[in-house]
Structures are given as structure tokens and as C-alpha cells.
Amino acid sequence: MAAVVAVLAIAAAVLVWPHAKDPGPVVPPFLPVFSTWVTLTEALTALLLWTQYAVSGRLLFAALSGAYSFTSVVAAIQLLVFPGVFSPTGLLGAGPQTAVWIWVFWHGGFPALVTASLFARSVPASLTHRTLARVVAVGAVAVAVGLCILATAGQSHLPPLVAKSGSYTQLSDSPAGIIVEALCLAALGLHVSTTRVRSLMDLWLAVALVGALIDVTLTLSAGARYSVGWYAARVASMVSSSAVLGMLIYETTGLYRRLSETHRKLVETSARDGLTGVFNRAYFDDRFAREFSLASVSKQPLCVLLLDVDHFKQYNDTYGHMAGDDCLKKVAGALSGTLRRQGDFVARYGGEEFVVVLPSCEPAAGLRVAQSLRAAVEKLAIRSASPTGAPVTVSVGMASTFQDPLESAPALLGLADTALYRAKARGRNRVVEAMDIAERQSVSDSEVPIVSVIKP
């Protein structure tokens, strides 16, 4: 991207060069727009660079922040003193030479300060004192203000660069113009040779220096305000002032994106059970309460399954706790691998118990999922502690809000727990569904268990 911007800027400058002296349309609002753009972009760049210094402690960023602060201040003051913007002769006691001399200080000062920042690269963060960084940044602003005072109050001591007609062809042949051009060219060369443009900062700072060099070159060749070269130079200056800012915004956006992703992963990791890798009890308690509330408001069914590994204590006593842990890992993997819908999730409820939540799932579909989960664990063929060599199995209790509007999530979970208890009491390795309120009421008088049994 940096290469594309630099090549396009250079190509545009080459195309404009033969027509630089051609008069262009006089658009008085262009200058305020240009100066405001440069002032704001340079100020924002300075702020972000200072933030980089505050985080890293590197003097380099403080020095670059000072360079961009310098340009922001000078651009703002030049707008105030420019003739014909706020007054015919400019504010702050400006004279006919003030604006052009501020331009000289601006376009000579920025590359000089960027070159000076090269010396700050070798200063390690551990040796950078905050007071020194503040002196560097504030000093650049002080230099900007001082030079602008010289261009206004001390204008009589400066040689004229602008004729009464508004032409500044004298600038092109004057020592001031030559020095500014040389500073821009030297700053670009030293920056590239010293940094080897290894980082994004170095790369886009080089683009900014290319834009500054094009600005100076076209301005000197244009020779007059509102010419084609003068307009093109202002556009190049806007590109120069925006290059590093665009990179910093891009990096900041990427940083926030990476932080968000890292935070999501951390939250997900903290919500995972350390042994089995499925969600933990804390995550289940929070998520299940939210799913229950959503189901209640939307009138959508919600199924919850409680699963218990059959005879797990006996398995631990026979094969040891390490084998028991490995068994739980395999069971959890089978349960997770069986779920297909994005909203469904499995969590470790405690010990050898797992819980599965199925949002927007009707009881019939929930029973099919429960049977699939039970079959998936049985298919693992993990040898149990039974003398018959039967595989490890699970018992499942299921409850749903579809038939039975409940007052709370714990009440729904309690129904699933009761169904699980009945599944274990009736021989294990089976799925039992809790009945709805009407059925429970009808069977309570006859003391029939409040579950319906589905055998494998």
C-alpha cells in the first residue's frame, strides 16, 4: 500500500510538472480547507505518536510527536496570517512576506526534525526519562511558535520572497528555497538509508517525506499562488500529513481487533473445564439462565439434558483416577462431537455429570439428541468395571419448557435431575423424559413415578 501511494504521488507530480506554472482557478475556500486538514491530521498524528511513546517509553516516538506538533502549529498560524482569508493582509500583524516565510520554516523544519529523530532511535526505553521526552515534544512546539513570531514581528529582518503581484518566483532561486529542497531530499535519503524501512512506521514516514519533497518541488516550480503546481503541491502536502496517521489508525484498529479476539479466547478459555475441555459449571449457570429467559420471552421451547456416567465410582476404584480422568475426557469429546447445531452446548455439571442445553428444541427432537448422545458414549466401547465387560454408558434425564411453562431455570433443571434419577433407578443406560404439569398432577395421586422411560 505504501509503495502504491508513493508511486502514484510521484507519477502525478511528473504529470503536473510541465503545467506547474499554468494559472488555475482562484478558489478562496481551498486554502482554509487545506490548512484545516493539515492542522488536524498532524495534530492527531502527534497525539497518537505520543501515545506510542507513553506505552513503549521510546524517545523516538516523542521526537516524532514533536515534529508533527511543529507542523500542526505552523499550519494553523499560516492560515491565520495568510492574506485574503480572515483579512486582506492577514491577522497577527502579518505582512506580505509573513505567509511565505512561515511556509519556508514549515517545510524546512519538518524534515529537519524528522532527521533529528533518527538520533533518538538508539536511545533505549530504559534510559528515556519522561522529562526529556516532554522537553523534546514541547521544544518542537516552542520552535514553531518562535519561528512564526519571527515571520510576523520580525518580518522586516527577513529578505522579501513575494512580489507585490503575489508571485514568489524569487523563492525558487533564493537560498531559502534551495535549503528547503535540500533538507527534504536529505531527510528522505537519511531516513531510508538509516532505517532500511523495516517497520510500518519507517515505511509510511518515508511516504510522508516523499509527499513533503513533492510539495516543495512543485511549489518552487509553480512560482505563484493558485497555479496548477500550487494546487498540486497542496494536495501532496495533504497526502504527506495523512500517511503516518492512516498507518497509525490502521494499526490501532488492528490492535483493538486482536485484543478483542484475545479477550474472546480468554473468556472462552476461562469458561472451559480444565479436564474435559467442555464448558464449566460457571459458564453453564450464566448461559442457561439467559437461554431460559430468552425462551420464556420468545415462547420458544428449551430442552435440558442431565447425563451421568454409570458406575463411575466403581470405574475409578478399579482402574484409578487417571484412567477415570481419561474416561471423562473421552465421554466429553463424544458428547461435543455429537451436537450439530451452533446454539447447542455441553458443560461439565460436576464430577461425572454433564449437562446439555438445546435452545429452540422441541421435546421429540430433544429425545432424539439425547439418544444420540447416549449411543455415542456407548459406541466409545470404553471397558467398564463390570465383570461382563460391558462398555461405559450414561444415563440421561431430559426436561423441556415446551409443554410446561416453568417459573425459573432451576425448576427446569430440577425436572431433568428427577428424570435422571429415575433413569438410574430403572437400570441405567437409558433416556428418561420428565412429564408436564398436568401429567404429574394426574399421576401424583396414584404415586406413579413422574417420568416416561425410553429404553435403548
3-state secondary structure of 319: helix
Say how far residue 349 (Cα) sits from the centre of its chain: 35
CA distances to 57, 120, 159, 249, 268 from 53, in Å: 5, 12, 39, 16, 32
CB atoms within 10 A of CB 421: 17
- Catalytic residue from among 181, 352, 353, 433: 352
Q: Which residues pair with 454 in a beta bridge?
A: 431
The number of C-alpha atoms within 13 Å of 138 and in the hemisphere containing its C-beta is 6
Active site residue 352: yes
Distance of CA 173 to the CA centre of its chain: 49
Amino acid at 431: V
Taking CA atoms, 259 is separated from 51, 55, 270, in Å, by 17, 15, 16
| CA atoms of 370 and 296, how far apart (whole Å) | 22
Burial class for 198, CB neighbours closer than 10 Å (0-12, 13-18, 19+): exposed
Q: What are phi and psi of 399, to 5 degrees?
A: -140, 150
Give the three cell numbers for residue 403.
Answer: 409443554
Nearest to 279 by CA among 377, 372, 380, 355: 355
Closest alpha carbon to 80 in 90, 88, 70: 90
- Whether residue 450 contacts residue 420, with contact meaning beta carbons closer than 8 Å, is answered with no
Catalytic residues: 352
